[in-house]
Structure 1
Amino acid sequence: MADRPYHHGELRTALLDTAEALIRERGVDGWSLREVSVRVGVSPSAAYHHFASRDALVQALSRRVLARLGERLGDEVERAGGDGVEGVVAFGRGYVRWALEDPAVARHWLAYNAGGGDRTAPHPHRVLAAALDRLVETGGLPAEARPGADFVVWAAVHGLAALLVDGLVHLDTPEAVYAQAERVVRATLIGLSRQAPPPQGWPTPRSAYTERAVDPRR
């Protein structure tokens, strides 16, 4: 096989693009790094120069998907403006919309641990945390409810997205989807505002993102 004349960065991008296309065709499994290299038009050895294994390629693609999602959600929260509640609602709507627009890629991201993501890109968790911090600043969420609230809202929004993507819940129109996402977010925020913390305080959930925020070497 004669390799196409890719520059270093261009070949890596082409491999990621092709892997993403295969995921849309077949899902996360059922293809190999060798097949990706054939589709790109390079030898497997050229592909292995960038990714030591198929899993390494999948992990890199997860990080890229995560970075794109973070940028998209950050833009949507910023456009929402408002009193802070609108920003969190925009996050929830945007997350669900993203999952339904590209379910195969969404499933890929859900199936593989992307770690802390790309350090140079806004992480979705960071976007949500900032929106909740803004909500506390504007008085829309009590400060005592803030610890761990990002995980509570994420669980609610992610749960709705997963149910819709898997076909376990059906809504007839995009408008109905957005309305349901807004209802889930607003109901979650009301619950957080009214729930008194236990004497021992709330549990402290962790994720790859929060652990790396504490220890950048991860």
Structure 2
Amino acid sequence: MAKGRYHHGDLRAALLDAAEELVRERGADGWSLREASARVGVSPSAAYHHFASRDALVRALSERILSRLGVRLAAACDRAAESLVPVGETADPLRRLIALGRGYLHWAVEDPAVARLVFGAGATGPDSRVSPHPHDVLTAELDRLAELGALPAASRPGAEFVVWAPIHGLAVLLIDGLIRVDDARAFDLQAERVIRATLNGLCQESAPSGDWPAVHTTHTDRRRSHLGQEGEQVGPGAGDLFRQAE
């Protein structure tokens, strides 16, 4: 956004836009709140009315990016559900989840600097608000599969973390250039293979003698707190779904 190109009352949004531009140009850490302020033509003191620090601006930007991602993934699932099924064939129960996986991969590869921002631990906080949250979109799709009988009820608890791990890992490998695919079709097929292989494993797994270990994120702990339930907090080094702590 060019200097001074914001409307009265929209400085907060203009600063978020500027920060997002800077992330794409320099990465998550290569810029300051002062630079974001200068980019929209205001003094740092004006920016402080909206963001107390650069960290606060990063958190707000992460929340906005994650909300956009949630919308994108939900829309991808809905489009897959609306796609026509050839006459004589049965709709694939995994089509929505495959679309979600592909959507996540495309998002990461299309905008790697922004993706890395929200992958970083601490990009969001316990008080962050993200709606729709990507975690909740994935949870809803797995609940749907369980209701359809395509995912055993015994395998449903914690399945979102099992599914997210390989998709996120593939996304990181792709944006870091550690693996490559030949074309868009191969890209989508690789995403589909990961999803199908993971669901196949979940459908065939044998439950342990006790419960599966509980996995938490800041987002799930916050939701539990909001529901008035108590939950064990994540220990140091524990993974965070989409690294979105909100």
Structure 2 counterparts to residues 85-104 of structure 1, below 5 A: 85-104=94-113
Is it true that 1:118 corresponds to 2:118 in the alignment? no
Residue 175 (structure 1) shift? 1.4
CA distance in structure 2 between the aligned counterparts of 1:37 and 1:173, rounded to whole angstroms = 40
CA separation of 1:4 and 1:165: change in aligned 2, threshold 3 A? closer
State the identity %.
Answer: 57
Q: Which runs of 4+ in 1 moved over 2 A?
A: 2-8, 112-119
User: What is residue 184 of structure 1 aligned with on the other side?
Assistant: 194
Of the three residues 141, 147, 161, the one matched with 1:137 is 147
> Quick one: which of 162, 169, 183 aligns to 1:159?
169
- Distance in 2 between residues matched to 1:99 and 1:48, nearest whole Å: 30
Q: What is the deviation of 1:7?
A: 2.3
Secondary structure of residue in 2 paired with 1:157: helix
Give deviations 1:39-89, integer Å, cap 9, x for gaps. Answer: 100111100110001111011100000000000001111121245311111
Q: Equivalents in 2 of 1:113, 1:171: separation in Å? A: 30
Bigger fraction of residues in helix = 1
Report the residue type matching 1:187 in the other structure: A
What TM-score do you get using the length of structure 1 for normalisation? 0.93
Amino acid paired to 2:80: A
C-alpha contact (below 8 Å) 2:6/2:14 kept by paired residues: no
Quickly say closer, same or farther: Cα 1:71–1:32, change in 2 above 3 A. same
Q: Is the 8 A contact 1:63 1:115 kept in 2?
A: no
| Amino acid across the alignment from 1:191 | G
> Hey, what does 1:42 align to over in structure 2?
42
Q: Structure 1: which 5+ runs fail to align? A: none
2:231 corresponds to: none
Deviation at 1:187, TM superposition (A): 0.1
- Hey, what's the Cα distance between the residues in 1 that align with 2:208 and 2:23? 44
Secondary structure of the structure 1 residue equivalent to 2:48: helix
Q: TM-score, length-normalised on structure 2?
A: 0.83
Give the whole-Å Cα distance in 2 for the aligned partners of 1:68 and 1:148.
24
Q: Letter of the aligned partner of 1:95 in structure 2?
A: Y
Amino acid at match of 1:42: V
1:211 and 2:221 aligned: yes
Aligned position for 1:7 = 8
State the one-letter code of the partner of 1:110. Answer: F
Give, as a single letter, the amino acid of the residue that structure 2 aligns with 1:118: R
Unaligned runs of at least 5 residues, structure 2 = 82-90, 228-245
